[in-house]
Amino acid sequence: MVNVGDDIKAENASWTFGGSVPKSFDSHVSKSVPLYQEGHHLIVKISDYFLQENSLVYELGTSTGELLKKIADYNKKPSVRFIGVDREAGMLEEARKKCSEDKRISFELSEITEFPLEKCDLILSYYTVQFVHPKFRQEIINRIYESLNWGGAFLLFEKVRAPDARFQDLMTGLYTDYKLDQGYSSEEIVSKSRSLKGVLEPFSTTANYEMLERAGFKDFMTVMKYISFEGILAIK
């Protein structure tokens, strides 16, 4: 086990969101993902366009429930329901403590590949699908499309690969500089990268767009982009 930053330890090709990660996840991810908090703020504002009375919101891969809580705090409609889904019990323990005062918010322990989705108006995936094995991703996006009400929205935020090797080298270098600027050491950056081998498998922007199209989405666009981190809004 080696240190990958913020007192989180991981082994080669075996990154996990369990163990001790939930306790320091919020601070770690805010430093590791550019515009992480800004992405939250953007999603909160976008939610205005899709949430009505009796709406249902899902967050797939909710981690500590931080984003879901922000949306619920902003959208005060009493009949809106918010459901966070995650596979890690430790994450949901933190999420339930954080959101305990809002009875509209609930959490479910499940693989997102297995969780049954009801008809809903908004589905969020904030840097989650990139950790799902590629062979399951199209099925998940298909289910998301089918579960949305007409006019509902899917917000897909993902790390993405560049369209060719030259741009990939450029993005990798820029992201390494970003993490160094955040105070991570070279050893921590390399260790984190090694721990994510075979666990984090980003698609390119084009591949994500094609996946949305195959599911049935016709209206989608990028709403945020910084180096290799991208947010896409898709409307059914």
pLDDT for 140-170, tens place per residue? 999 999 999 999 999 999 999 999 999 999 9
E-state strands within the chain: 2-5, 8-10, 56-60, 81-86, 105-109, 120-126, 148-159, 219-226, 229-235
Band of residue 131 on the pLDDT scale cut at 50, 70, 90:
very high
CA dihedral in degrees (132, 115, 107, 4; nearest 10)? -10
pLDDT for 32-83, tens place per residue? 999 999 999 999 999 999 999 999 999 999 999 999 999 999 999 999 999 9
Sequence spans of domains, the chain: 2-163+210-235
pTM of this prediction? Answer: 0.92
Span of 37-41, 135-139, 172-176, 191-195 with lowest mean pLDDT: 191-195
Class of CATH domain 2-163+210-235: alpha beta
pLDDT for 73-108, tens place per residue? 999 999 999 999 999 999 999 999 999 999 999 999
What does pLDDT average to over the chain?
A: 92
pLDDT for 222-232, tens place per residue? 999 999 999 99
Is 8 within 8 Å of 76 (Cβ atoms)?
A: no
Tokens, residue 236:
């059914």
